[in-house]
Amino acid sequence: EVLVGRSSSSDELDLKGDLQQSHGNHQEREKSESVSSDASLGYNNEVEIALIPWQTPEEEHEVNASADVCVDPQVPRWFQLSPSDATNLTDSSEFLADDCSIIAGGSLTGWHPDSAAVLWRRILGILGDVNNIQSPKIHAKVFGYLYELWYKLAKIRDNLAISLDNQSTPSPPVLIPPLRIFASWLFKATTLPNEYKEGKLQAYRLICAMMTRRQDVMPNSDFLVHFYFVMHLGLTSEDQDILNTVIKHCSPAFFFLGLPGFTMLMGDFITAAARVLGADTPQAPRSEAHTILGSLVCFPNIYQGTPLLQPISEAVEIVTGTADVKGYLINILLKNATEEPSEAARCIAICSLGVWICEELTQCTNHPQVKEAINVIGVTLKFSNKLVAQVACDVLQLLVSYWEKLQKYECSLPRKITEILVATVAFLLPSAEYSSVEADKKFIVSLLLCLLDWCMALPMKMLLEPVSAGVLEDQHTSRAPLLDYIYRVLHCCVNGSSTYTQQSHYVLSLADLSSSDYDPFLPLGNVRNSEPAQCHSATDVGNLLTVAEEKRRRSLELIPLTARMVMTHLVNHLSHYPLSGGPAILHSLLSENHDNSYVESSELSPEVFRSPNLQLFVFNDSTLLSYLQIPAENKVDTEAAVAPSDVRVIVRDISGKYSWDGRILYGPLEGCLPRQSGTNSFVIAGHPEHQSNSLEDLSQVEEGEDALDTLLEKIGSSSPECLLHPQGKLNEPSPAPFGMSCDQENEIIEALMRQSAQEKEHIFKCSSAFGIKVAHQEEPCPARPQASFYFCRLLLNDLGMNSWDRRKSFHLLKTNSKLLRELKNLDSRQCRETHKIAVFYIAEGQEDKCSILSNTRGSQAYEDFVAGLGWEVDLSTHGGFMGGLQRNGSTGQTAPYYATSTVEIIFHVSTRMPSDSDDSLTKKLRHLGNDEVHIVWSEHTRNYRRGIIPTDFGDVLIVIYPMKNHMFFIEIMKKPEVPFFGPLFDGAIVTAKLLPSLVCATCINASRAVKSLIPLYQSLY
């Protein structure tokens, strides 16, 4: 096991004795050495500073050295030192060989590394206390040089134990540079009078750089006490330049290191950042101040009731307090999110508010200022600077995944956010559709897509509720559902904002949103653009004829096209996603070759177009329709009710691909027949008051009774006008005719009987005559249609597609190789936005590519994080976006996958892919390296270097460092040309609950930012 040697070697101990003799101040040298083993160039006895007294050692130097090192249990074993280790390391005989220099106990003369190091430190010690230099200019130059010298030492440390071939990780270094060697000089310099201001600023700059990098050996408590005191003085200083220097160079990495007692300075950092932001000076580090504030938004919930250092004036004692850090911090962010003049700083402030909202919703704190933060973000949507407005839109899109928590916080809040999006689109549309700036149109597109995500997330019941009661001015006016207003604004985007004369009554306006909880006209301060917008002159456009014309044409169609896609998506998928096929399946997987009896090919081929049962049409120049006649799967008991063939319609439009199977029905299917009543009764229309009684009485006639007799009696009683005789009944025999004798009656009866006999005889004679017989009619047998496209043509005719009215909008396509190629290309396109993200795991001590790619699993925290990114899918059966992964298992068996109705993400996780051979490592690197966005989970004790994974891609790297307090530090490295994106920013610190969702949202926005740089890049629709 290799140990790291402390900076105080045996040679350095000799150097200390020389310095003590040269200065004649042995006691003060011992005091300064107790601060740190590296801080061996220190104060003299004339220094007076309001610090806790330096520890005065009475023991020998070895005892001091043991107190100089604070063993951190989180530091790897090869960084943990003890005095005996250091002594054994420096005094070992293996370093005293004959090939060493004379100063190291050898016999070699001349310059050697060990002799050069000792002489360098002795010459440095000869300078004495540089803070005694009388000239402020020389003093400042010395500290400027010390910073350059320290930077070289830090560079040396960064390059130690780095793999040269990137194939294996070398052993940890035996010796490391003394990076805290100047600490005592720096601490004293911060207490000098104001005429040494330039040197003091250099000292603060170097202190911040020294203590915001990883500490190989943890400083002891004495050192930390003095360091915190110096930082407290600097953060509470009345000098604005000192504040600017500390805030600019003390990055959030200070909180990431987790030094013992670091939370004491939280209040100082917040106050100092607020003072920097309140200063109206152009050189103020505004972005750095917002980064510090944003990195602390999750700390108040973790460290509740933390003691804070209070500002002091000429006081020696340190006062502690427990002020409301969260409220103080959020008020600063809310103020600067609307007033910050710097574009980059305003974006960080908006992202910080978004992270804080998610933190409060996750912790269920019910903080009252969440609504105020949403108000600021909603108002920022209509801000003139589109980069800032886009960041606010991204934050609202992030909150889609937290809509249930928002509803729990306040039931009307999710619907309120949707109303804000609708009103903002209506407000910006008139200026955006006629704007020559492409960013204006792209931002409307972002708003529409964000609105679509909110509509798909919210339940249908919420969308069908009327708009908020406090929205409309006239409370007595009938309020339309929210979904109605959504379709109205989409209709305006398609047809133009000037389509309706009374636009304000047709769509939701910003004024309608005004309420006690939301101010749509909250004032926003202007920002200074980081770089001017690029405006192409007429000459430039003329030089790029085809490209410029195509770009102009797409720009004009951008908003209407997006609105049509959103409307079609809502019609097809609202309240229907996901279906039984799962979230990975959004469109049909069928093509014209499936179930086609005339085609044997398993994919689209020219053979498909030669089948007589297929025709392709274009409807309204926007929808591609394929009509295919396929054999029906008839059952025996339903053959008489259905046709022998089915019709399949495959639809391709702006929202995706769908297929429908239909058949013609000649009658009800088996099991669908209506129930037959047990008795044959008739319903006689009559008076309403009698009808129900009649039906009830007739239905209750007992078996054997004369139903006709009962019916005649009822008719006679209910309708007296039907009686032949007023005194009789219809069911009684009529009286005998008046004036007819019995003889006459008998003669009439006999005549009727003779006539009946003659008629029967005549019928018998006629039936035996051959010439009079008529042939029997037989039922014709059913004929099967011979045409292979008959039922398709019948369906088209029933739909009215064959009419002259449809002739201008319904066209038959000519089938050729070009159409086949375009169909294949269209089917290969995804109907959702797709992203592929690489995920790397770096264990402790891994510095090379092979070690990192060979990891087959990670820590439990890493596995929990990956599980939070999405759900595992089986690649062999996965029907969604694959991102280049194979189904044969060569790229792993499973992968994390996340999908909504508009976005698909596949994560190329290094620990999920096989690494048992050189070929598998090469294939793994090819898949991971070609992704544009990389997530790097690093548990190494050194920061991740971009060159470890060599690739020309990887435009954005999101590096995650676990912290001791179970929080996570985020480092974002991106190429300079990639625009700003959120919600996470470089230096953010978040909790484990927020990490997966925030990283996933940041990856999506980072991928979109990278794709926005591609010339003439087209969206999925």
Residue with tokens 């133009």: 496
Write the pLDDT tens digit of every residue in 414-425: 999 999 999 999
Has residue 837 got a pLDDT over 50? Answer: yes
Q: Which of 319, 385, 313, 324 is nearest to 349 (CA)?
A: 385
How crowded is residue 486: how many other Cβ atoms within 10 Å of its Cβ? Answer: 26
The mean per-residue pLDDT over the stretch 622-650 comes to 81
The set of residues, in sequence order, having a beta carbon less than 8 Å from that of 478 and lying 6+ positions away, is none
Residue with tokens 């998506």: 569
Write the pLDDT tens digit of every residue in 356-400: 999 999 999 999 999 999 999 999 999 999 999 999 999 999 999
Give the Cα separation of 77 and 61 in Å (integer): 24
Give the Cα separation of 893 and 885 in Å (integer): 10
| End-to-end alpha carbon distance in the chain | 59
Q: What is the pLDDT of residue 743?
A: 84
Q: Which of 651, 652, 671 is nearest to 661 (CA)?
A: 651
Residue 937 DSSP SS3: strand
Better-scored residue on pLDDT, 19 or 857:
857
Q: Are 841 and 852 a contacting pair, CB within 8 Å? A: yes
Residue 842 DSSP SS3: strand
- Both tokens of 493, joined, read 């985007």
Would you list the DSSP string of 321-354?
A: E---HHHHHHHHHHHHHHH--BHHHHHHHHHHHH
Give the Cα separation of 530 and 346 in Å (integer): 11
Residue with tokens 């980072």: 1006
In sequence order, the β-bridge partners of residue 290 are none
Give the Cα separation of 189 and 202 in Å (integer): 9
Q: What is the pLDDT of residue 549?
A: 65
Write the pLDDT tens digit of every residue in 901-939: 999 999 999 999 998 888 889 899 999 999 999 999 999
Which amino acid, 617? F
Which amino acid, 50? A
How far lies 769's CA from each of 58, 719, 758, 763, 766, in Å?
151, 51, 17, 10, 5
Q: Are 471 and 419 a contacting pair, CB within 8 Å? A: yes
Has residue 691 got a pLDDT over 50? Answer: no
The set of residues, in sequence order, having a beta carbon less than 8 Å from that of 253 and lying 6+ positions away, is 212, 213, 969, 987
Strands 320-321 and 308-309 come out as antiparallel
Give the Cα separation of 535 and 415 in Å (integer): 39
According to DSSP, residue 737 is labeled: P
The mean per-residue pLDDT over the stretch 516-529 comes to 89
Region of residue 484 (left: phi > 0; alpha: psi -120 to 50; beta: else): alpha
Angle between helix 240-249 and 197-211 (nearest 10): 20
The mean per-residue pLDDT over the stretch 37-48 comes to 40
Q: Are 167 and 925 a contacting pair, CB within 8 Å? A: no
According to DSSP, residue 897 is labeled: E
- Both tokens of 265, joined, read 């300075």
Has residue 523 got a pLDDT over 70? Answer: yes
Of 243-247, 316-320, 506-510, 652-656, which one has max mean pLDDT? 243-247
The mean per-residue pLDDT over the stretch 988-997 comes to 97
pLDDT class of 628 with cuts at 50, 70, 90: very high
Chain Cα centroid distance, residue 717: 80
The mean per-residue pLDDT over the stretch 693-701 comes to 51
Write the pLDDT tens digit of every residue in 312-343: 444 334 444 445 889 999 999 999 999 999 99
pTM of the model: 0.80
Chain Cα centroid distance, residue 232: 39
List the Cα angle 804/652/569 in 5-degree steps: 105
Q: What is the pLDDT of residue 206?
A: 97
Q: Are 671 and 841 a contacting pair, CB within 8 Å? A: no
The mean per-residue pLDDT over the stretch 105-111 comes to 83
pLDDT class of 9 with cuts at 50, 70, 90: very low
Has residue 467 got a pLDDT over 70? Answer: yes
In sequence order, the β-bridge partners of residue 108 are 101
Give the Cα separation of 247 and 289 in Å (integer): 6
Give the Cα separation of 598 and 278 in Å (integer): 77
The set of residues, in sequence order, having a beta carbon less than 8 Å from that of 748 and lying 6+ positions away, is none
- Both tokens of 250, joined, read 């003390």
* CATH code for the domain defined by 832-1011: 3.40.50.11210
pLDDT class of 260 with cuts at 50, 70, 90: very high
- Domain residues of the chain, as ranges? 370-529+544-564, 606-665+789-824, 832-1011
User: What size, in residues, is the chain?
Assistant: 1021
How far lies 751's CA from each of 747, 756, 757, 765, in Å?
6, 9, 10, 22
Angle between helix 370-380 and 386-398 (nearest 10): 140
